[in-house]
Amino acid sequence: MATKKIVIRMIGDPRIGGDPDINDFIEKMKALKTALAHTERLITKTEKTVVHFKLSEATHDSPWTFVLLAYLVTIFQPNKFINNDLCDVLIKRFNNSVKAINKGTISKDELDLPAWDAYMKMGESNNERNTGFEVLDGTNIYSVDRTYVQKIKNILGKEEVVYGSIVGKVEGYNSHNDNNTFFLYPIVGLSRVTCYFPSEVIVDNIEFIDENPESTLMSLRGIVKTTGKLKSEEIIRRGRHAY
C-alpha cells in the first residue's frame, strides 16, 4: 500500500498548555520542508522539486497532531526517477532516515552535507525550551528534538576545530547562557561552519553592505576586550546599533 502522507505530532511548551509556539512551529515546518527537498534531491539527482505537501487534517487531542499529504506537481524535465511512485519513495526514505538517526544505525555516507545540515536543523531550537516534533510511522514514533540533534552529531563525528578566516553569511548569533556561537554559511566549500568566541570578546558593530540586510563575516568589525565585570550579553545590548 502506497504511503503518501507524513504524520507529525508537535512537542509543545508545557508552560502554554503543551501547544506549540507559533514561531517555533513556523521554524520547524520550514526546516521539515527543506529536509524533504534535500531528500527528494538525493532520489531524483536533480535540484527541481516536484513533490509538494498539503495540510490534510489536524487534531488537537493533546498533543497537537497533523497530517501532510504528498502530491506530485508538474514535471519540469524527463527523469527516470520522477514518476507517480516518487511521493511514496520520498516519504519512505525520509521516515527511514529519521528512524535510523534515532536508532543510530545510519552511516554518514547515506546523506550528503547539505542534507545532514537540513535534517539537523529540524531538531534545533533557538530558545531554552526543548520543543520539537515527532514523526509517527505506523505504530513507531521517532523524536526530532535536541536529543535527535546530538545523535546526528555523534554520527557525523567530532567537529574539527581550526583557527583562521573564512568569508560567508552570518546567521544565528547566540549569546544565551554563554553559548557564544554564531553560524557562518561560506560562499564556497562547507555548507555551514559553527563559530565560537570567548565571553571577553564582543562585536562592537555590524555593518550592512550595499543595503543587504544579511550581514557577512567581513562586516563584523571592532572586536573589543572587556574587563570581565559585565557579561558579554549586557555589553552587546548597550553597544549594538539596532541590530
SS3 for 66-111, per residue?
Answer: EEEEEEECCCCCCCCCCCCCHHHHHHHHHHHHHHHHHHCCCCHHHC
Query: Which pTM does this prediction carry?
Result: 0.62
> Range with the lowest mean pLDDT among 40-49, 173-182, 216-225?
216-225
Domain match, 151 and 173 both: no
Of 125, 156, 187, at which residue does a domain stop? 156
Assess whether 150 and 182 both reside in one domain: no
Same-domain status, 147 and 226: no
What letter represents residue 175's amino acid?
S
Domain-embedded: residue 30 = yes
Question: Of all residues in the chain, what percent carry a pLDDT higher than 70?
Answer: 63
Q: Which of 101, 125, 156 is the last residue of a domain?
A: 156
Contact call for residues 64 and 114 (beta carbons, < 8 A): no
Residue 224 has pLDDT above 60, yes or no: no
- Whether residues 15 and 132 share a domain: the answer is yes
Evaluate if residue 77 carries a pLDDT over 60.
no
* φ, ψ at 117 (rounded to 5°): -60, -40
pLDDT at 203 over 60: no
Q: Are residues 150 and 187 in the same domain?
A: no
- Considering the domain boundaries, does residue 162 fall inside one? no
Residues 133, 63, 38: CA angle, nearest 5 degrees: 20
Cβ neighbours, 10 Å, residue 189 = 9
Strands 181-186 and 168-174: antiparallel
Residue 19: give the domain boundaries. Answer: 5-156
| Domain-located, residue 141 | yes
Lookup: cell for 205? 558593530
What pLDDT is attached to residue 96? 94
Omega before 63 within 30 of 0, i.e. cis:
yes
**What are the angstrom distances between the C-alpha of 121 and each of 35, 56, 178?**
8, 24, 21
In a domain, 152, yes or no: yes
pLDDT at 200 over 50: yes
Question: Do 204 and 133 share a domain, yes or no?
Answer: no
In a domain, 47, yes or no: yes
Give the pLDDT confidence of 83-133 residue by residue, as tens digits.
668 889 999 999 999 999 999 899 888 998 889 989 998 988 766 665 788
Give the per-residue pLDDT at 21: 79
Q: Do 118 and 226 have their domain in common?
A: no
Average the pLDDT over 6-11 and give the result.
Answer: 89
Q: Can you give the pLDDT at residue 81? A: 47
In the listed set 135, 156, 177, which residue is the last one of a domain according to the structure? 156
Same domain, 126 and 190: no
- For the chain, what is the domain count? 2
Q: How confident is the model at residue 3 (pLDDT cuts 50, 70, 90)?
A: low
Say how far apart CA 9 and CA 123 lie, in whole Å. 13
89 and 206 in a single domain? The answer is no
In a domain? residue 133: yes
Residues 182, 146 within the same domain = no
Q: What is the mean pLDDT of residues 49-57?
A: 87
Question: Do 182 and 140 belong to one domain?
Answer: no
Do 130 and 211 fall into the same domain?
no
Q: What is the mean pLDDT of residues 55-80?
A: 74
For residue 163, being part of any structural domain is answered with no
Instruction: Over range 4-9, report the average pLDDT.
Output: 90
161 in a domain, yes or no?
no
Residue 243, pLDDT > 50, answer no
More confident residue, 64 or 162: 64
